[in-house]
Amino acid sequence: MNVIDLIQKEQEKPSVPDFRPGDTVKVYSKVVEGGKERIQMFEGTVTVRKGGGSAESITVRRIAHGVGVEKSFLLHSPRVDRIEISKRGIVRRSRLYYLSDKIGKAARIKEKKVAK
């Protein structure tokens, strides 16, 4: 391994959970307003997970007041506090760009049943 790979390994967070596109996640990110910093939650479906190493990013989509909202997050950024998985989805693609054209019930993803 060269020096750049070693530095990137140090930058990565060990606390990133194992999730895939189609899963519903809650991303808690730090937001600075004025002089104060608070944590804001964004819940939605993961549509894209791309990149690798410390540059890996995800795109999360949700419907807010009838309008589709997509937000991109760098997984290993200090701005991302934590990520929680709400539901596991069953999809057969790695990029779910087709969801942006769907509205309402058509945009649903089947949920994977987890045995308890």
Q: Which stretches of the chain score pLDDT less than 50?
A: none
Q: How far apart are CA 56 and CA 73, in angstroms?
A: 9
Dihedral sign (CA 26, 89, 51, 99): negative
Residue 45 has which token pair? 């479906």
Predicted local distance difference test score (pLDDT) of residue 44: 95
Predicted local distance difference test score (pLDDT) of residue 9: 84
The domain containing residue 89 runs over which residues?
13-99
Predicted local distance difference test score (pLDDT) of residue 116: 67
Q: Which residue has the tokens 């959970």?
A: 17
Within a domain: 114: no
Predicted local distance difference test score (pLDDT) of residue 4: 86
Question: At 18, which CATH number?
Answer: 2.30.30.790
Please state the domain count of the chain: 1
Within a domain: 43: yes
What's the gap between Cα 62 and its chain centre? 11
